[in-house]
Amino acid sequence: MMSDYSGFTLDQYRDALASSDPTPGGGTAAAVALAQGAALAYMVCELTSGREKWQAGWDAADEVRKIAEPLLIRGHELASEDAAAFDAVMAAFRMPRESDGEKSERRTAIEVATLGAAEVPLETAICALGLLETLPPLAEYGNGNAVSDVGVSALLLSAACRGALFNVQINASSLPAAQSDELLAEVDSLRGRMRAVSKMVMNVVDSRLSD
């Protein structure tokens, strides 16, 4: 049964992460960070839109809000899906392997489940990067009183992206080369883009905080 981490209190979620159970783990934490980063970005949009002093940031706020709003929910869904994907891998490894037929079924089930365990965090990473890439204009032109919140949002989204990509890598390493090579190439591409845009946001935030 898939856990709905959006229904957890902060204490319950913390304790679940700290337990000896393998789920929730890093992939779930990355997805929760995605939702939190989206929430902070959305807040800055709300503090920018409609305020004459920050009119230069209205278009940026509208763009960020469009991307951030669905991620408030999708981030928590991905948190649950990530844990369920890992549980599916463990269930596949527990399948019987007495006969040749059972061994074949088990190998196929492990491969399918492992691919799923790579695809879920890949979506988390793509979503996090997609929102992160909208933040530079909001950092530059949004409500100056909330520029530090744009910075924290960017840090959370960077962590969500980077952490999710770790999970893609570890699962890709167990897949056949054709699947693994494609996934790892995408990991490299996403990580490079994330580093570049994260640095860009941090530079803008630091500049505005120093003004």
Residue 4 lies in a domain: no
Residue 155 lies in a domain: yes
Task: List Cβ neighbours of 27 (8 Å cut-off, separation of 6 or more).
Answer: 82, 83, 85, 86, 117, 120, 121, 124, 163, 164, 167
Residue 11 lies in a domain: no
109: domain CATH number is 1.20.120.680
Q: How far apart are CA 30 and CA 108, in angstroms?
A: 28
Q: Is the pTM of this model over 0.85?
A: yes
Residue 5 lies in a domain: no
- Each residue of 16-33: pLDDT tens digit? 999 999 888 999 999 999
Residue 1 lies in a domain: no
Q: Label residue 96 exposed, middle or buried (CB < 10 Å: 0-12, 13-18, 19+).
A: exposed
What's the domain count of the chain?
Answer: 1
Determine the structural domain holding residue 55 and report its residue range. Answer: 19-210
**Which of 98, 65, 78 minimizes the C-alpha distance to 24?**
78
Residue 3 lies in a domain: no
Confidence (pLDDT) at 211:
81
Tell me what percent of the residues of the chain surpass a pLDDT of 90.
Answer: 92
* Beta carbons of 37 and 150 less than 8 angstroms apart: no
- Each residue of 182-205: pLDDT tens digit? 999 999 999 999 999 999 999 999
